[in-house]
Amino acid sequence: MTVRGALVAAATMLAVATGAQVASAAEVDFAPCASCHGENGVSYNVDTPSLAGQPSFYAITQLFLFRAGRRTNPLMTEMARPMSDADLRAYSELIGRLPPAPPAPGVPADPARMKRGAALAEQHRCTTCHGADLAGAKQVPRLAGQREEYLARALAEFRSGARIGYTPAMNETLTGLGAPELGDLAHYIAHASTLTGVAPAASAASR
Ligand code: HEC
Ligand code: HEC
């Protein structure tokens, strides 16, 4: 099994495991997380993602990657290192229950960038994995309503290979895209949300 395969298998086992020793979401304290990720997981902090609306399966894979040192971020690595498997499960269950909220106010939508971003999203089929409404599912993250500068950085890190993830899906999807394209994609995604009234799949549906 490849390292990546082993990671997915381990995270999946964590996600589905049940037993008396499993901490319930009620037993973990979200307050330390909220100090960075915002109350109810809606982030007002630059460079810090909102967690609200993320599928719990996605959350546990990422906590697992942070703990294993496969996704590197000094702040999150520090948070995840002491966590037990039960903690990972409890936090991801809790995250899965945080209702998605309208995005924190950021850069206003620029019509030219929105148009370019929508065309790129369609061309590179972002909605085939992230969903027509970009809400994600299972181990695929929600993008709708995420902070723009965080999205831009995540895309740049997948593109450069600095973020490898548990699947090469994103590294492959972004092959050949330059910094201006990644910026336009992040701008479009940050604003394209059913919660802001800009339906992400509108352009695809009107073809
Ligand atoms: C000191 C600030 C800080 C604290 C405290 C913190 N985080 Fe984070 N978290 C971050 C940053 C910054 C990132 C983005 C890391 C990156 O870009 O790779 C992140 C990323 C994440 C992600 C991945 C999100 C995504 O969209 O990929 C999850 C899940 C997460 N944090 C959960 C938690 C939980 C659960 C707690 C509380 C136990 C917590 N965080 C506490 C700063 C923090
Ligand atoms: C083949 C399926 C697939 C396609 C197509 C795809 N993605 Fe992803 N995306 C994923 C998966 C799976 C992850 C989680 C990556 C990981 O940790 O391994 C992800 C992660 C992301 C993240 C990180 C989110 C976060 O919270 O950290 C962003 C941003 C993103 N994708 C944007 C895009 C954009 C923009 C497109 C279109 C250009 C796209 N994706 C196309 C499957 C896909």
Ligand 1 centroid from CA 36, angstroms: 7
Phi and psi of 77, rounded to 5°? -60, -45
Atom of ligand 2 nearest to the CA of 168: 18
Count of residues for the chain?
207
Eight-class DSSP state of 156: H
User: Of the ligands numbered here, which is closest to the C-alpha atom of 126?
Assistant: 2
Look at the block and give the residue holding tokens 């099994």: 1
Judge contact between 182 and 174, C-beta under 8 A: yes
| Residue nearest to ligand 2 atom 9, measured at CA | 170
- Four-CA torsion 114, 143, 186, 64, nearest 10 degrees: -170
Q: Whose CA is nearest to atom 16 of ligand 2?
A: 165
C-alpha 207 to ligand 1 mean position (Å): 38
Residues in Cβ contact with 54 at an 8 Å cutoff, skipping those fewer than 6 apart = 41, 95, 96, 98, 136, 141, 142
- Reference 144, options 38, 42, 11, 36; nearest CA is 42
d(CA 11, CA 51): 18
Q: How many CA atoms lie within 13 A of 8 on its CB side?
A: 12
Whole-structure pTM value = 0.90
Q: Determine whether the shortest distance from the Cβ of 40 to ligand 1 is under 6 A.
A: no
Q: pLDDT at position 189, please?
A: 93
Ligand 1 midpoint to CA 104 (Å): 17
Task: Give the pLDDT score at 27.
Answer: 77
Output the pLDDT for position 34: 97
Residue 61 Cα to ligand 1 midpoint, Å, equals 12
What is the residue-level pLDDT of the chain in tens, covering all 207 positions? 565 666 666 666 665 554 334 556 667 899 999 999 999 999 999 999 999 999 999 999 999 999 999 999 999 999 999 999 999 999 999 999 999 987 666 778 999 999 999 999 999 999 999 999 899 999 999 998 899 999 999 999 999 999 988 999 999 999 999 999 999 999 999 988 755 555 554 433 333
- Ligand 1 atom with the smallest distance to the CA of 163 is 18
Ligand that lies nearest to the alpha carbon of residue 152, given by its number in the listed order: 2
Ranges assigned E (strand) in 91-173? none
Q: Which residue, judged by its Cα, is nearest atom 34 of ligand 1?
A: 33
